[in-house]
Amino acid sequence: MDSFQYAELFLTESRENIAAANQALLELERDGGQGGASPAVGAIFRAVHTIKGMGATMGYAVVAELAHEMETVLDGVRRGELAVDPGVMDVLFQATDVLERAIEEAVTGREGGVLPTALVEALRAMGTQAPTSTGWTVPAPPGPGTLIRVRLAPDTPLRGVRAFIILQNLRRLGEVTATEPSDEALQSDSFGADFAIRVLSNATPAVLEHAIRSAGDVEDVHVGEDRASAAMPRVSGARESMMTPRSQLAQPTPAPAAGPAPARQIRIDVRRLDNLMNLVGELVIARGRLAQIAGELGDAALVDTVTQASRLITELRDEITSTRMVPVSQIFDRFPRVVRDVARGLGKQIDFVVEGKEIELDRAMLDDIADSIVHLLRNAIDHGIESPAERVAAGKSPSGRLVLSAARDRSAVVIKVADDGRGIDRKRVLARAKRDGLVDTQKQDLSEDELLWLLARPGFSTAERVTDVSGRGVGVDAVHTRVRSLGGAMDIRSAPGEGTTMMIKLPLTLAIVRALLARVADETYAIPLAHVSDTLEVTPELVKTVKGREVLLARDEVLPLHRMRELVDLPAYVPANEIALEQAVVIDVGDRRAALVVDELSGQEEIVVKQFDAVKDGLPLFGGATLLGDGTPSLIVDVSSLL
């Protein structure tokens, strides 16, 4: 069996183990007084031990050796021989980062084969040098070999992969002469938790057992011909059939009739999901065109068939969309480590709280927004939360509170980064804006919208110095640009001495959305329905002018008014007849609302969103394009650009 085919599986499982190790390291740092008694030590050890075994099996020498050195240090902590102090924690955190990079490099074929000397020396200085196992290269002696019984842990995922790794480990020690059940049954997961192996090797029982346990998810191992332990029932027929080498066996032993239920989950490449979503998007476009043709022909049977096909396409779309949805915990779990490192580097104390990790979002969007959240967290720690001394002087706890949360809001997800720090210094922002000529020199204060507009300006920063964390004016600008490119919106709330909340609102998925179609002259524009709260006819008495700007009186509200014709540089609206009236679409993002005036509304439709790069010096009004049911193209209005 070619181990290369398991590279992706190794990478996926290793990333999960690295994430688990980071979480446990943070817990160990908080529980430092418990030392080896902390449950976190065992969690870190198991994660590193699994990576070590899998790395060795895959032939990734640097990964296996670095994990081995970490394992030695953790074993010392576990036995109480090594105290958990800041120095030990720093080295373990650094080793975890290097191990993660080594894994990525190994899988992509960029493994240099050289261990980071300074780090390895630091690890070895903390632990005891582990004895080497010469048995890994000793040739197998003649004879029937040693009988080994193995039991995997309950609920072990991909049992066949674990069995393969165990066999590969044993083949490094000698020759595997027989297995029970057969090799084929082991590779196809057609066995229960127990299996047996006979191996020819000069390695000691301890070395053989270590090679097996290093594969991970092994509950028990028994090496030798003597009676197995009570916790390890004998594999049916193993003792008799395995006395004979595999070449002399008449037939492989059939798999057990009864065993654990088949796995209910599989791993799938996200690129396949992307392709499925693209295909179903094309189906949605074709459905619209087909429905239009069926309506024009007026054939009842055809209309009925198209209606049924339309329902099936909708169900297919919903299933694929839900398949792409993953909990935000997949990226939120990375951030406690980020916060810990930044806070430590700045000498600040942070109580980091994560809420709403179970909220689901499209996987592609989740990956795209991860870096933006990191920007906001780093800015909050650097600019928002004060040093312990400043906080105590202000009557606050020395530890700042930083909250990352996710919540559903209709057909969108709202992600917030909130701190209880000093808040944004509006006077300082205003002074910088005046100096740069961005606002009127007579202006005395900034609204929340104006504050966000300034902070999101490229290169705008009030930092007195540039640090490794911030100060170059690219944080909020980068976040705002990314959020808008994803069809979302950004908001900010800040109070002096109380803190700042940065809010990102994202659609659940970018691929297919329901939109309101609006006509302006000969063009049709799509407005995402998630941002539409009302529509009404524009009569002369509803339009007023306040401080030189048009507003719309909409059901006891005064809303800023935008005319689509002016935005796209078209002539003023001329009614087709005496009763024709323009239409106003009330749009909202968060608690901000406005009215967009168009010529007429032509219905609603499910549209497939096609992202595009904005034309240089073009209008920021549009966030994508689509094809309508009749095959005509339509631009999608970026609602956040109007608010």
CATH number at residue 461: 3.30.565.10
The arrangement of strands across the sheet holding 557-563 comes to 532-537, 583-589, 592-598, 557-563, 549-554, 543-546
Higher pLDDT, 469 or 253: 469
Contact 208, 247 (CB under 8 A): no
Q: Among 308, 326, 344, which residue terminates a domain?
A: 326
Say whether pLDDT at 449 is over 80. no
Residue 142 Rama label (left phi>0; alpha psi -120 to 50; beta) = beta
- Give the model's pLDDT for residue 60: 84
Q: How far apart are CA 489 and CA 500, in angstroms?
A: 17
Number of domains, the chain: 5
The closest of 222, 171, 167, 208 to 191, measured between CA atoms, is: 167
What is the model's pLDDT at position 107? 84
Asked whether residue 464 falls in the same domain as residue 585, the answer is no
pLDDT, position 112: 56
User: The domain that contains 628 carries what CATH number?
Assistant: 2.40.50.180
pLDDT band at 247 (very low <50, low <70, confident <90, very high): very low
In the structure encoding, which two tokens stand for residue 424, read together? 């944004």
Ramachandran angles phi, psi of 402, nearest 5° = -125, 125
Residue 385, both tokens: 């939360």
CA dist 60 and 103 (Å) reads 8
Q: Would 390 be classed as within a structural domain?
A: yes
Q: Are residues 491 and 564 in the same domain?
A: no
Q: Are residues 174 and 297 in the same domain?
A: no
Closest C-alpha among 293, 277, 444, 416 to residue 359: 416
Burial 324-336 (b: 16+ CB within 10 A, else e): bebbbbbbbbbbb
Q: Are residues 377 and 340 in the same domain?
A: yes
Q: How confident is the model at residue 257 (pLDDT cuts 50, 70, 90)?
A: very low
* C-alpha Rg value of the chain to the nearest Å: 32
Supply the pLDDT for residue 241.
41
Residues whose CB is less than 8 angstroms from the CB of residue 96 and which lie 6 or more positions away in sequence, other chains included: 18, 21, 22, 25, 70
Give pLDDT, residue 597: 92
**Integer angstrom CA distances of residue 520 from 330, 568, 636:** 43, 9, 13
**Domain for residue 265, yes or no?**
no
Q: Are 19 and 51 in contact (CB under 8 A)?
A: no
- Is 147 inside a domain boundary? yes
Is residue 67 one of the residues assigned to a domain? yes
Does 423 map to a domain? Answer: yes
- Residue 163 is assigned to a structural domain of this protein: yes
Digit-coded pLDDT (tens) for 15-46: 889 988 999 999 888 876 566 678 888 889 88
More confident residue, 386 or 363: 386
For residue 226, the model assigns a pLDDT of 52
Q: For 329-355, what is the mean pLDDT?
A: 90
Same domain flag for 119 and 167: no
**pLDDT at position 626 over 70:** yes
Token digits of residue 570: 């078209």
Separation of alpha carbons 350 and 381, rounded Å: 8
- The β-bridge partners of 528 are 515
Residue written as token pair 């720093």: 90
Structure tokens at 583: 């239409």
Neighbours of 390 (CB within 10 A): 15
Ordered DSSP codes for 395-442: TS-SEEEEEEEEEEETTEEEEEEEE-SS---HHHHHHHHHHTTSS-TT
**Domain extent at residue 199:** 135-246
CATH number for the domain that contains residue 302? 1.10.287
Q: What is the pLDDT of residues 94-134, one digit of tens each?
A: 899 989 988 988 888 765 555 667 787 778 777 653 333 33
Closest CA to 204 of 142, 150, 136: 136
pLDDT mean over 380-404: 92
Task: Determine the pLDDT at residue 115.
Answer: 63
Are both 31 and 179 inside the same structural domain? no
463 plus 523 within the same structural domain: no
Q: Is the pLDDT of residue 191 over 80?
A: no
Q: Are residues 353 and 482 in the same domain?
A: yes
Query: Do residues 345 and 486 share a domain?
Result: yes
Extended beta strands in 482-639, E state: 489-495, 499-507, 512-520, 523-528, 532-537, 543-546, 549-554, 557-563, 583-589, 592-598, 600-608, 622-627, 633-637
Amino acid at 4: F
pLDDT of residue 616: 52
Are 357 and 400 in the same domain?
Answer: yes
Q: Does the residue 257 lie in any domain? A: no
Q: For all residues of the chain together, what is the average pLDDT? A: 79
Could you say which of 455, 489, 507 is where a domain stops?
507
401-445 confidence digits (pLDDT tens): 999 999 987 778 899 999 999 988 888 888 888 888 887 777 878
Residue 632 lies in a domain: yes
Q: Are residues 36 and 119 in the same domain?
A: yes
- In this structure, what are the phi and psi dihedrals at residue 298, rounded to the nearest 5 degrees? 75, 15
Check residue 63 and give its pLDDT: 87
Domain co-membership, 611 together with 636: yes
Measured in whole angstroms, the distance separating CA 95 from the mean position of its chain's CA atoms is 23
pLDDT > 90: percent of the chain: 14
pLDDT for the residue numbered 240: 39
181 preceded by cis ω (within 30°)? yes
* 251 Cβ contact partners less than 8 Å away, ≥ 6 residues apart: none
Tokens of 527: 């407005």
Q: Which residues are paired to 593 by β-bridges? A: 588
| Residue at which a domain ends, from 231, 246, 261 | 246
